[in-house]
Amino acid sequence: MIRNPYMPQEAEILKIFQETDINYTFRLKTDLKVKSGQFLEVSIPRIGEAPISVSDFGDGYLDLTIRKVGRVTQALHNLQPGDKFFIRGPYGNGFPIDKLKDRRLIVAAGGTGLAPVKSLINQYYNDSLEIKSLQLLAGFKSPGDILFSSELEKWSKKFPVEITVDRGSENWKGRVGLVTKLVADLDISEVENTMVIVVGPPLMMKFTTQEFVKKKISIGNIYLSFERKMSCGIGKCGHCKIDDTYVCLEGPVFEYSKAIQLLD
């Protein structure tokens, strides 16, 4: 019998961290080797399966930051540490670490788009990512939607972290506005040596990327991470196909010069 790539493996929940009202990070006990930007197919038998990006990983564990929005994710949120659910993967290409080497990196993340880049940022924080500098721009709907608050705090002591929210609140003293505004206000030195990663909702990615192009960042230096409906993760189900490209196989991370060719 050939290996069944649809067969999921069971993984135990080590810990659950509440990030916001509806976002929780599940730390799983596993030896799977993953790269920043890859995703897993996560499932609960008799409920369903869904693609979820890996938000962080380390020795013997990986983190999935999951938003309670669908059938599978609702069910996941009923689980406790010690419970198990199923995973298969990792799938997708992940971020191009080799292309970032010795470059200045700007990461622009919108909402839960911060999850797939979190591990990359942490690698820089822990001195294991060989880049020249890092700057993070993160946008959220409201102060209550801010993900990874303690990490953002910690990161901001080592490198520039700019946070903005679409709608402020009484106690919010930070910036209000879209991520595009943060980009517009940037003063980018060494434009040619700067790499950009944009992750977030489709419209945020579209306009943020355009803003970086206005800042003279070459379209070959910008990377986007796509989010698509997927039923298999291995190039069979067809849901994530755009033109001759399968997001699950050649993506989810695309160079912008390629991404602009991928029309829906």
Partner 1 sequence: MGYKIYREKFADLFHELRASYEIYAPVTKKDKGMYSDTDLITYDKVESFTEIVFDKKTFFSPKEIVFPIRQTLFYFTEDSVLEPTKLEKDIVIFARACDINSFRSLDAIFLQNGPYEDPYYKKLRQRVKFILLPCDGFENCYCACLGTNITDNYSAYVDVRDDAVYCKVKDAYWKGLWSKYGEESEVEPRYVSKNENTFEIPQKINNSIFEHQMWSEYTNRCTGCGRCTVVCPTCTCFTVHDIRYDDNSKYGERRRVWASCQIDGFTEMAGGHGYRHKQGERTRFRVLHKISDFKKRFGFQMCVGCGRCEDACQEYISLKNCIHKISEIMAEEEKV
63, 38 Cβ separation under 8 angstroms: no
Interface residue with partner 1, options 72, 106, 136, 178 (CB under 8 A)? 72
Question: Minimum distance from CB of 207 to partner 1 (Å)?
Answer: 16
Query: Tell me, what DSSP letter sits at residue 196?
Result: E
Residue number with CB closer to partner 1 (59 or 264): 264
30 touches partner 1 (CB under 8 A): no
* Rounded Cα–Cα distance for residues 37 and 183 (Å): 22
Interface residue with partner 1, options 232, 253, 254, 256 (CB under 8 A)? 232
29, 94 Cβ separation under 8 angstroms: no
Question: Minimum distance from CB of 198 to partner 1 (Å)?
Answer: 16
254 touches partner 1 (CB under 8 A): no
Contact flags string 82-101 toward partner 1, x per CB under 8 A: ----x---------------
Question: Minimum distance from CB of 45 to partner 1 (Å)?
Answer: 4
Q: Which of residues 196-215 bind partner 1 (CB under 8 A)?
A: 201-202
Residue number with CB closer to partner 1 (46 or 173): 46
34 touches partner 1 (CB under 8 A): no
Question: Minimum distance from CB of 69 to partner 1 (Å)?
Answer: 4
241 touches partner 1 (CB under 8 A): yes
Interface residue with partner 1, options 43, 135, 180, 225 (CB under 8 A)? 43
Residue number with CB closer to partner 1 (215 or 241): 241
- Name the amino acid, one letter, at 134: L
Q: Which of 94, 41, 42 is nearest to 226 (CA)?
A: 94
69 touches partner 1 (CB under 8 A): yes
Site size for partner 1 (CB under 8 A): 45
167 touches partner 1 (CB under 8 A): no
219 touches partner 1 (CB under 8 A): no
Cis peptide before 51 (omega within 30 of 0): no
Burial class (CB in 10 A: 0-12, 13-18, 19+), 90: buried
237 touches partner 1 (CB under 8 A): yes
Residue number with CB closer to partner 1 (169 or 261): 261
Both tokens assigned to 71: 């059938």
* Rounded Cα–Cα distance for residues 160 and 6 (Å): 42
User: DSSP string spanning 98-161?
Assistant: HHHTTSEEEEEEEGGGHHHHHHHHHHHHTT-S--SEEEEEEEESSGGG--SHHHHHHHHTTS-E
* Rounded Cα–Cα distance for residues 26 and 62 (Å): 8
| H-helix or E-strand spanning residue 73 | helix 71-76
Site for partner 1, rule CB under 8 A:
1-8, 43-50, 67, 69-73, 86, 201-202, 227-229, 231-232, 234-239, 241, 243-244, 246, 248-249, 261, 263-264
